[in-house]
Each structure stands twice: as structure tokens, then as C-alpha cells.
Structure 1
Amino acid sequence: LALVDQALLRMADEQGLEIELGLRIEPLAAEASAAGVGDIQALRDTYRDAVLDYRGLSAAWQDIQARFAATPLERVVAFLQKALSADLDSQSSRLDPVKLERVMSDMHKLRVLGGLAEQVGALWQVLVTGERGHGIRAF
């Protein structure tokens, strides 16, 4: 029994914040999952990675594309922004508010870049298909 207690204490020390974040984000992840954004566990993992192991805008873009290829980027980023906002508003959060603000700022940039990527993709389709009526023509 003492070994089990020691193992639980060690796990709480090593992974306590990850477990706490997973539990805290569960309602928002369930709501987003029910709305078709993605799998609850993938949403929770993405959020935890964003706040605990944030590696920048490019890595966030690649991570979201890899985990949610079938979901529009805007919907995943909206979930992340909502979760980050909830953590910023929470008085019990043990996360650094400056880091959360930085991730929030990057999520806004990611949302804008995602919209731009969609527009460029649509423009490319118009150019490739030669579709008329947009005031754009191929050379």
C-alpha cells in the first residue's frame, strides 16, 4: 500500500498539472466535440500541448493540421481561444498569464492565417479552372 501511495504521489508531482488541465478543459472539449470539431481526447491533448509545451505558431499550425485534417482550422482555433480565455479568467489557474496571453495572440494570428490560406486556395482554384466572373484570369 505504501508503494502505491508513493507511486500516486510521484505521478501527481510529475503529471499533476496535465491531469488538472485535462479535467478543467473537459466540458469545453465535450461541447466542441458534440459540435463536430473533433475527438474529445484530441481536443484536450491539443490544448494541453498549447499551454504546457507551446513551440510557436508554425508548430501549432502543423499540430492542428495533423490532428484535425478534416476540420476547418477556424473551428479548432475557436475552441482553443475559448479554452485559453477560460483559463485566463480563472482565479485558480496555475498557468502563467503572460504565457497564456502569448498563446492567445498566436491563436488569433493562426485564425487570420487560416482564413488567408482558404482565400489563396479559392483563388488558386479559380485560376486553375479558368472560372470567369471574378475579375481574375490566367495569363
Structure 2
Amino acid sequence: MSGPVRVGAVDCGTNSIRLLVAEGVPGRAGLTDVVREMRIIRLGEGVDATGRISDGAISRARTALRDYVETMASHDVRAVRMVATSATRDAANKVDFFDMTADVLGEHFPGAAAEVITGQTEAELTFAGGVADLDAADG
């Protein structure tokens, strides 16, 4: 049987960016949180007015993501998934944001980059995360 494996998840939304490092054992259900972090980066600041993600917002996201990559590397994370939500869906310069994530994540996780998710997928992931820790015995 294999030992525990650590994985990372980064969720970049319109206002904040979140990191979860979790540990699981292959073949067993469930994960245990190792690290949870959240930072306000205001990625969507001005997007409605300009149609673009500002240089400042991309810079704030880069700083947070670099710190998150260091955290994941120091916790021996083997795989990472990063998702980005509404602020990046329609921005004219979303490619700049996604290129930045590929550069920063790729330093430790080759081939990793943010992926934009639909509103439906965002809702499904939010629901799954919200009910994951519920105990069925509690009703």
C-alpha cells in the first residue's frame, strides 16, 4: 500500500485567491487539510469598466501565487490544480493572466496552469467542498 500523498488546490476568484494543501492515502476516501490560506487580491477590480484585468491585479495575483508555490513545495505537494472564475472568463487580456500562472506554477509543477471554469462548475465545486466535511450521522 502507498503512503500519504499531498496535493494542492488554488482557487482564484474575483476578489480572493485561496490555497488548500491536503493529504490523502491512495485507495482511501477523504483528505486531511494540511494548509489553508486566503488572500484578497481584487483580481476583478475594474474589469466591468475596462474589460481587462489590471496590471496591478495580475501583479497581486503573481505575488500570492509565488508564495503559494513556495508553501506547496515546502509541504511536498505532488500535484496541483488551479482554477480561475468569473473575473477571467471574459477579460480581453485573460491570456496574460493564464501565461503568468503557467510561468509561476511551472517553476515547481511543470505543465501546471490555471484553468478557467464555468459558473456551473464553480457552483458544483463550491457545493462539493461545502458538504465534504458534513457528517451524515448529524442529519
Q: TM-score, normalised by structure 2?
A: 0.33
RCO higher in structure (CA 8 A, sep ≥6) = 2
Larger radius of gyration: 1
Q: TM-score, normalised by structure 1?
A: 0.33
Q: Which structure's residues are more often strand, by fraction?
A: 2
Q: Which structure's residues are more often helix, by fraction?
A: 1
